[in-house]
Structure 1
């Protein structure tokens, strides 16, 4: 069938038009691993159908030739990874010099024996035949950009970082972190750790830890069920130090989408809340966000249970979030947190956990939690009704037949709350800008069309909400040098009309969906949330700013005032033109080649 809109015509086959239920979170995981068929081998970890399609297209690119329908070329796995194209291979710190160590630890005949480590360079057949644009050709190894220790002690009071990106100029990775940096001995002498995430490659994850920490206890909190749970257990089985903890997902179509690290050191405790899955692709050429806590020291023996709390109530809220899992395993981490001083925290924790909530419980999670925090701790501003809400995300759920059903009613009401005004505020005129990559954004990205595997907006969902696309704005990040690194980061904020100030900023795992943020039921007396999510909220008051707003940092790499906020994309956002279409993963794009000279045919 086909669907016409001002943003283009979509055509899907009848097989793509059948939707199995109302999937409100389009990153819904598959129930099994992609099986090996002939020359084709899928990812060794459970993942979404969109990511499977991207994996397939990377392995077997469809080359564009003279405008004709693309022909499938030889699978990329057969080709030796290229050392051509500077910036596409990992730096020396990320090479496979410790592959033998991993193989030895996994042992012979293990469940995953014979599964090779993922290659980190673009396949030779792509790079040698299709030269990248000049801006993508030159870079320095990202581990030379800036010492990670300096980042923690530099002029970054927000402790908000972007991930390093391969294939961009070195200066654009200044102040960025890779997962290996976060797990480095420079940050602490690790005793044990917990990793909360959605998509997890256990073998890859273990390799990110320094050799001296790879045998330390590691707890992985996941949301897999049935076949995909069995696959994850099989992958983790060879690692005797790894334990798995399944998050309960009792409401249909929910996911365990939280991305957090708890790092327990001899010297203290650190909390990392971020947006990346624990797979190589998410730490390679994507724009991701990280909040890295201070090193929390251990409290003295006999300290009161309430000791070590911050002005933002972060310690109590983190413990409350962990207790929502109702897991004896996570109770061990609750005790560890109780023993540490978290008083230096300057952000608010904002989480979602599955359930149906009434009364005061409604305000503990989701968008009502954000509404409560903004009412209690954000300052009212002159003419605040003209300050737009900006949402930026990598996936979209079903939001209803029109904007009044959720987006511009309960959701916008929460995001437009500022101060505890007893008067009824009229928020219906507050502009809403939604930043989501267009087809051309994806096509022109470092990864090309396969970058769209992490942007799983489906045709089935898009066709039901064409009204939404009039809110869309392109992904642009020229000031940070990351316009070609597709976003998997999710951010929400309230901006001044001239886009030079922001009243608050949130980095979170939550995409634009009811499953993530919650939706009213029973005439607003009940809040229903399907998924686990986690983020941190930055408010000016916690950074000593009495004006009620942050100045936006105009240049990510300049010496602007230290409390200018580094918004990770360009402002003002650029609205879609009539020719632009939002990226939709499960339809073909065959008219124009991507940066590798290839097309996108997902099936």
Structure 2
């Protein structure tokens, strides 16, 4: 079938209609590409076979280096292990299972596809590894890597000065940081952080840590800890079940210091999408809330963000339970969030947090946890939690009807047949709340999501689209949504070419120089992440675990946040907020198309000479 729209013509086979948010399986060089590939010399009339591209890590990587996520991410892998066995149908491409073998393939991430799809809606995070060789095939040499859609090598090795050797210059006003991006000039990484920096002794003498996340590569994660901390206890909080959980257990076998804690997912199609680190030092305690999965690709050439807390000191012995609270009640809300897991493995951490002074925190915690909530509990989680905080702690502004809302995300779920079903109804009401004003304006809403051209010309090229799981099956049901879309363009530093995995929401002045509030979160644009009202608005249902932090000017003794137009190089005392993309946003032109990840893009090669052909 085909679908015409203002953003082009999409074609899918009729058999694909029932499968949504399924990952594309292959990248192929165009026929005139100079990249080595079995397809490069195929005659035009022959049906091209899928290309076996990239093993992201060296070919002797142990089984524990597989990236593990939820069950559907594992389900996506089986057909990748032998890509010659299936035809070029997006629906087949998504039905793969991870196998714990040295040459097993795709690492996947990001859960926020359609709410009614469930765990099929996962996104590609790393490129496919090379399939297991046939018995007659020669095994590749250990020191070599196969050809890659990125070019000769999958990863560019970071230069020696990429990682911090001393405490970096950071903006301590907001404690909002971007990740480092390999391939950018050093000045544009100044003040940004890599996971290896975060876990280094620069920020404390680590005793123990917890890693909450969606997608894991345990061996890679362990290598990011400095050698002196590598054997310290690590607790992994995940949402995997059954076979996926078994594979995660297998990953941890070589690392006796790594333990697992399974998050309860009692509502169908929910995921554990929260990304948080709890770091316990000899000197105190620290919290990081971020947008990156624990796989190398997420810390390589993606735009990611994080909030890193101050170092929280221990409270004096015998302090009352109310001690160490912040004006934003961050301590109470963090304990409430951790308690929602009902996990014995977190009991010691809950007690440790109680014993530390979190009073310096200036941000508000906004979490989602699975469940159906009524009464006052409706305002504990999801977008109604955001609405409550904006009502209680933000302030109306003059002519607020002209202050736009900007949402920016890397994944999109089903919004309904028209905008009133969820987006322009309950969710927009939340985003437009400013204080206790009875005014219910209808301000402009700008949704920032990469176009096909943004992906094609990015640092990674088309493979970056594996982190943007917007499916044709979902998109063709909500063409009305695309009129909201704006290009991903980042702060004129080259970061526009690092595709976003960061998720941000904000309210800005009409001239885009002031912010009424700013939110960084793991939550994409989906009802599963934010929650949806039910039973005539008397109940809210949330499917997934999510976590973010809300910046409100009142907590910083400001009326609004000034926007920092040129955040690099970073200044430690700047009062401007470092918005991670260009303002004002640029609306899609008539020629722009939103990136759809499970249809081919073969007319124009990407920055590495490859085309995108889902199989």
Fold-level similarity (TM above 0.5): yes
Q: Which residue of 1 aligns with 2:151?
A: 127
Q: Judging changes above 3 Å, is the alpha-carbon distance between structure 1 residues 248 and 457 closer, same or farther for their aligned structure 2 residues? A: same
2:453 aligned with 1:426: no
Q: Which residue of 1 aligns with 2:3?
A: 3
2:208 aligned with 1:182: no
Q: Which residue of 2 aligns with 1:42?
A: 104
Please give the secondary structure, in 2, of the residue aligned with 1:569.
coil
CA contact (8 A) 1:480 1:569 kept: no
Q: Which residue of 2 aligns with 1:12?
A: 12
Give matches, 1:52-67, under 5 Å: 55=126
Q: Which residue of 2 aligns with 1:582?
A: 594
Give the deviation of 1:15 after TM superposition.
3.8
Q: Which residue of 1 aligns with 2:58?
A: none
In the aligned structure 2, how far is the partner of 1:348 from the partner of 1:396? 25
Residue of 308, 321, 324 corresponding to 1:308? 324
Can you give the 5+ residue segments of structure 2 that lack an aligned partner in the other structure?
24-69, 85-102, 111-119, 132-136
In the aligned structure 2, how far is the partner of 1:300 from the partner of 1:203? 38
2:159 aligned with 1:141: yes
Give the deviation of 1:380 after TM superposition.
1.1
In the aligned structure 1, how far is the partner of 2:104 from the partner of 2:122? 10
The answer to which of 580-589 and 487-496 deviates more is 580-589
In the aligned structure 2, how far is the partner of 1:558 from the partner of 1:205? 28
Give matches, 1:71-470, under 5 Å: 78=140, 123=147, 127=151, 141=159, 143-144=161-162, 149-151=167-169, 154-421=170-437, 423=438, 425-427=439-441, 429-470=442-483
In the aligned structure 2, how far is the partner of 1:214 from the partner of 1:206? 6
Q: Which residue of 2 aligns with 1:67?
A: none
In the aligned structure 2, how far is the partner of 1:81 from the partner of 1:163? 29
In the aligned structure 2, how far is the partner of 1:21 from the partner of 1:450? 16
CA contact (8 A) 1:32 1:231 kept: no
Q: Which residue of 1 aligns with 2:94?
A: none
2:607 aligned with 1:595: yes
Q: Judging changes above 3 Å, is the alpha-carbon distance between structure 1 residues 268 and 54 closer, same or farther for their aligned structure 2 residues? A: closer
In the aligned structure 2, how far is the partner of 1:265 from the partner of 1:347? 22
Give the deviation of 1:161 after TM superposition.
0.5
Please give the secondary structure, in 1, of the residue aligned with 2:81.
coil
2:532 aligned with 1:519: yes
> After TM superposition, which residue ranges in structure 1, 4 or more long, deviate above 4 angstroms?
20-23, 44-60, 77-82, 122-126, 144-148, 558-561
Give the deviation of 1:252 after TM superposition.
1.0
TM-score calculated relative to the size of structure 2: 0.82
Q: Which residue of 1 aligns with 2:95?
A: none
In the aligned structure 1, how far is the partner of 2:158 from the partner of 2:249? 38
Q: Judging changes above 3 Å, is the alpha-carbon distance between structure 1 residues 142 and 552 closer, same or farther for their aligned structure 2 residues? A: farther
Q: Judging changes above 3 Å, is the alpha-carbon distance between structure 1 residues 448 and 125 closer, same or farther for their aligned structure 2 residues? A: closer
Q: Which residue of 2 aligns with 1:500?
A: 513
Q: Judging changes above 3 Å, is the alpha-carbon distance between structure 1 residues 481 and 290 closer, same or farther for their aligned structure 2 residues? A: same
Q: Which residue of 1 aligns with 2:113?
A: none
Q: Which residue of 1 aligns with 2:73?
A: 30
TM-score calculated relative to the size of structure 1: 0.83
Residue of 546, 566, 569 corresponding to 1:555? 566
Please give the secondary structure, in 2, of the residue aligned with 1:150.
coil
In the aligned structure 2, how far is the partner of 1:504 from the partner of 1:266? 35
CA contact (8 A) 2:187 2:569 kept: no
RMSD (Å), alpha carbons: 2.9
Give the deviation of 1:28 after TM superposition.
8.3
Please give the secondary structure, in 1, of the residue aligned with 2:386.
helix
Q: Which residue of 2 aligns with 1:88?
A: none
Give the deviation of 1:14 after TM superposition.
3.2
Q: Judging changes above 3 Å, is the alpha-carbon distance between structure 1 residues 336 and 179 closer, same or farther for their aligned structure 2 residues? A: same
Give the deviation of 1:123 after TM superposition.
4.7
In the aligned structure 2, how far is the partner of 1:353 from the partner of 1:320? 11
Give the deviation of 1:480 after TM superposition.
3.6
Q: Which residue of 2 aligns with 1:71?
A: none
Q: Which residue of 1 aligns with 2:134?
A: none
In the aligned structure 1, how far is the partner of 2:184 from the partner of 2:292? 19
In the aligned structure 1, how far is the partner of 2:246 from the partner of 2:196? 28
Can you give the 5+ residue segments of structure 1 that lack an aligned partner in the other structure?
61-74, 83-118, 131-135
